[in-house]
Structure 1
Amino acid sequence: MNKHILEPEVQVFLKEKAAENPQKIALQKSPFPLVSSGELANQLDGHQRSVSKLPTWASTEGIYYPDKINIEQSSSEKTGALKLRLIEANSRLIDLTGGFGVDSYYFSTSCKEVLYCELNEQLAEIVAYNAGILGATNIRFLKADGLGILNEQEDGSLDYIYVDPSRRNKNQRFFLLEECEPDIVGLQDVFFQKAKTVISKVSPLLDISKAISQLKHCKSVTVVSVDGDCKELVFVQERDFSGHVKIQVIALIREQVYELSYPFRQEKEIELSYSEPLNYLYDPDVAVLKAGAFKTIAQQYNIHKLHQHSHLYSSSEWIPDFIGRSFHILDILPFASLKKNNPYPKAHVQSKNFPLKVDEIRKKFKIKDGNEIYLFFTTDKDEKLICIAAKKAIAASE
């Protein structure tokens, strides 16, 4: 951490150049003898990345930004704040994999004490400095391996263990919990000796069912998305818990929070009803799809699925609080009829359980992107290929 970056004249320069391209600054000669152009560029890049992801950090003067990978890998403010739902006030928590400290910061707003652990000494120094600027005074910063710090704690002295494990093989699209570092599967007994509750944040690429089968005393799984992008899965294990696992879907869509909660076992027990497209069409949020709540979403909103594998739903009456996108159906066309006449030469194209991809459909029917019309190419309950023309029913849902 180069503390010369915090000098007033450097901070003024960074503020004046806030909108500049960091790469441009990196290629220019630095006006400050003790701060390189690369360091200036890194601060600008960090600020620009934080404007939408970490607005509190971006709007606070004097924040010091680490390498961009640390910001890329950190939780956003929105997802960090959501985790406060998982803990009780005045508790004691250890964050084994501190990183840029966003989660630790939010936990500190409720906890009595947070132990932040980070092997990267420079990153830990930066996070500790920023915490002071942000007024987080109840975080203990420990520049050491989190597991080593955990082993030093007395048995039962912690309320929560929070861990954000990283994948050993980052080239694989799908991965297993036991391939993560730290190995939260192999360390479960150790964790429960030290704390009552373990909270693990993992990538949405993880298979939820398999993870539930591997994690002892799993109490809940929270699937979080932000504006149509599935961000994280959060598993909560509670020592001696033996009840049914709860699935919590939280979708943040344009500053509004949509939620769906149900027992994990429920999905297999529901018997669905199917129908032809009615007056309204629903496309569930990505968090619903990741949770596998294909039947639960239909039951929750009393809507009908179009086909077992389409994951599109319909109803006669409008559901204004649907967790996803909602559309008013204008037309239902047999796919074969489009070969003779396509009445929608300009539209947004969606392909759901359909043999052709979006690009193939556009090319085949010469459909340009745009307009208020959405064309959903899908398969109906009678295994027929259809095209549903629709307009958005809720402007806030996308």
Structure 2
Amino acid sequence: MNKPNSQTDRQEAGFSETEIGFIQTNLKENPGQLILRAGQFKELDVKKLAAQILSRQKAVKKLPEWSANERLIFPPALSVEQCSSEATARYKASLVSGKQLMDVTGGMGVDCFYMSRKFDHALYFEQQEEVAKTAEYNFKQLGCNNITVHNADSIQAIENKKVPSDWIYADPARRNTNREKVVLLSDCTPDITASLPVLFENAPNILLKTSPLLDIDLASRELENLAEVHVIGYEQECKELLFVLKKDCKTENFTIKTRIINAAGEVLHQLDFDRESERNAPVSYSNPLRYLYEPHPAVLKAGAFRTLCAEFDTRKLAVNSQLYTSENYIPDFPGRPFKIVAVCKPDMREISGYIQSGKANLTIRNFPGKTEELRKKWKLKEGGDFYLFATTLTDNAKVVIVTTKP
């Protein structure tokens, strides 16, 4: 795409100094209230600027580097919510390198921006003209000069002319033409499973991002040449799945790499295994000992239920409880550790002997009922320094484990 030349083009691509000043001055204001007061700013398109303010509010924590740049154009708030975070984008960049990267699904361009730092050159493809134009403008404002933006259908483009690259990155849209969420990879747009032959003609390595809701084993049956699946955890959420496909990989036994990262994309906890090792991992069971561990959601998504016992010398409370215990403290366990104060019957009269304030954080694991129902029944306020786990032990006893942070 051509860089704008005229003053008119520059204003269309970005914002005037007055508009930037308005956005920055009102960053902490309620965008809806700004629109209601639009009459006070007759020289400005307040609705457009309020949308930018809302998007920037969504991006402050998720995209700190982008948020700090006053000149960037942000897409609608929903798109900001759905895009990769800076943390996960930086992690992706740690997986790839080479002379050329090809991003075949474009979008806001967050992943392409961070991954491009590991390449001499990057190609960004996006079918929507306005999205591609905005991405090109933003890349320039961020000082990124090694990305070439193409407003085109990437699959058609590389079918017509080969574009040799070291890596191809894809984040296909997970909604169909009716804007309904889809489950299968083959229902996403573009259909990466159908496009694998042409993609591998252009690069030996493919990095595919999907929703954390995707079934890993179901997806693995749709994908050839699958070498690794990275299950990414950030803060207390499983954020995304990354499928690494390699042209020369012929085995069906892929490695699952669970990675819990920090804001810089650095790995805090990791756990590698495969389905066979998980099936064969020794597991033992125990009633609560001195410490209790709640696996990170990314570990649970990966399905490392038996592997946790083998790798971290812990015991499960029950087959389906997915809570672990140990006599000695394990600081590198991939999840939240707790010190056990007491094991009670699920009766508030007994529980209240340990939490006189009537305030505690409550988690249910393999226990009848819902969290809010139990809170209401026990007249339990949320918060405080105590953490309650309502669960079931190996003898089917229903208990509440009272814990604190170690």
Kindly indicate whether residue 67 of structure 2 is the aligned counterpart of residue 58 of structure 1: yes
Residue 303 of structure 1 and its aligned partner are, at CA, apart by: 0.6
Aligned positions of 1:1-398 closer than 5 A:
3=11, 6-27=15-36, 28-29=38-39, 31=41, 33=43, 35-88=44-97, 90-154=98-162, 157-169=164-176, 175-243=183-251, 244-252=253-261, 257-335=268-346, 338=348, 342-343=352-353, 344=355, 345-393=358-406
**8 Å contact kept, 2:87–2:263:** no
**8 Å contact kept, 2:344–2:351:** no
Taking a change above 3 Å as real, the CA distance of residues 188 and 24 of structure 1, as seen in their structure-2 partners, is same
Question: What SS does the aligned partner of 2:55 have?
Answer: helix
Measure the CA separation in 1 of the matches of 2:72 and 2:262.
Answer: 28
1:128-162 deviation line (CA, Å, top 9, x unaligned): 1111111111100001112122223427x121111
Residue 338 of structure 1 and its aligned partner are, at CA, apart by: 5.0
Measure the CA separation in 2 of the matches of 1:65 and 1:369.
Answer: 36
Residue 360 of structure 1 and its aligned partner are, at CA, apart by: 2.2
**8 Å contact kept, 1:25–1:40:** no
Measure the CA separation in 2 of the matches of 1:299 and 1:234.
Answer: 25
TM-score, with structure 1 as normaliser: 0.92
User: Letter of the aligned partner of 2:147 in structure 1?
Assistant: I
User: Letter of the aligned partner of 2:211 in structure 1?
Assistant: S
Residue 24 of structure 1 and its aligned partner are, at CA, apart by: 1.8
Question: What SS does the aligned partner of 1:272 have?
Answer: coil
Question: What SS does the aligned partner of 1:186 have?
Answer: helix
**8 Å contact kept, 1:178–1:184:** yes
Residue 364 of structure 1 and its aligned partner are, at CA, apart by: 2.6
Question: What SS does the aligned partner of 1:327 have?
Answer: strand
Measure the CA separation in 1 of the matches of 2:32 and 2:400.
Answer: 46
**8 Å contact kept, 2:339–2:403:** yes
Measure the CA separation in 1 of the matches of 2:250 and 2:276.
Answer: 14
**8 Å contact kept, 2:367–2:392:** yes
**8 Å contact kept, 1:246–1:263:** yes
**8 Å contact kept, 1:342–1:365:** no
Question: What SS does the aligned partner of 2:75 have?
Answer: coil
Question: What SS does the aligned partner of 1:383 have?
Answer: coil
Question: What SS does the aligned partner of 1:112 have?
Answer: strand
* More displaced stretch, 206-215 vs 170-179: 170-179
**8 Å contact kept, 1:174–1:205:** no
Residue 29 of structure 1 and its aligned partner are, at CA, apart by: 2.9
Measure the CA separation in 2 of the matches of 1:162 and 1:311.
Answer: 34
Q: Which runs of 5+ in 1 are unaligned?
A: 394-398
Question: What SS does the aligned partner of 1:361 have?
Answer: helix
Measure the CA separation in 1 of the matches of 2:10 and 2:306.
Answer: 54
Measure the CA separation in 2 of the matches of 1:69 and 1:386.
Answer: 41
User: Letter of the aligned partner of 2:68 in structure 1?
Assistant: S
Measure the CA separation in 1 of the matches of 2:15 and 2:34.
Answer: 18
User: Letter of the aligned partner of 2:318 in structure 1?
Assistant: H
**8 Å contact kept, 2:139–2:145:** yes
Residue 340 of structure 1 and its aligned partner are, at CA, apart by: 6.9
Q: Which runs of 5+ in 2 are unaligned?
A: 1-8
Aligned pairs, how many?
389
Measure the CA separation in 2 of the matches of 1:252 and 1:195.
Answer: 28
User: Letter of the aligned partner of 1:275 in structure 2?
Assistant: S
Taking a change above 3 Å as real, the CA distance of residues 153 and 202 of structure 1, as seen in their structure-2 partners, is same
Residue 314 of structure 1 and its aligned partner are, at CA, apart by: 0.3
Taking a change above 3 Å as real, the CA distance of residues 171 and 63 of structure 1, as seen in their structure-2 partners, is closer
TM-score, with structure 2 as normaliser: 0.90
User: Letter of the aligned partner of 1:269 in structure 2?
Assistant: N
Residue 341 of structure 1 and its aligned partner are, at CA, apart by: 7.0
User: Letter of the aligned partner of 1:348 in structure 2?
Assistant: N
**8 Å contact kept, 1:228–1:253:** no
* More displaced stretch, 61-70 vs 177-186: 61-70
Question: What SS does the aligned partner of 1:251 have?
Answer: strand
User: Letter of the aligned partner of 1:60 in structure 2?
Assistant: N
* More displaced stretch, 242-251 vs 123-132: 242-251
Measure the CA separation in 2 of the matches of 1:284 and 1:359.
Answer: 22
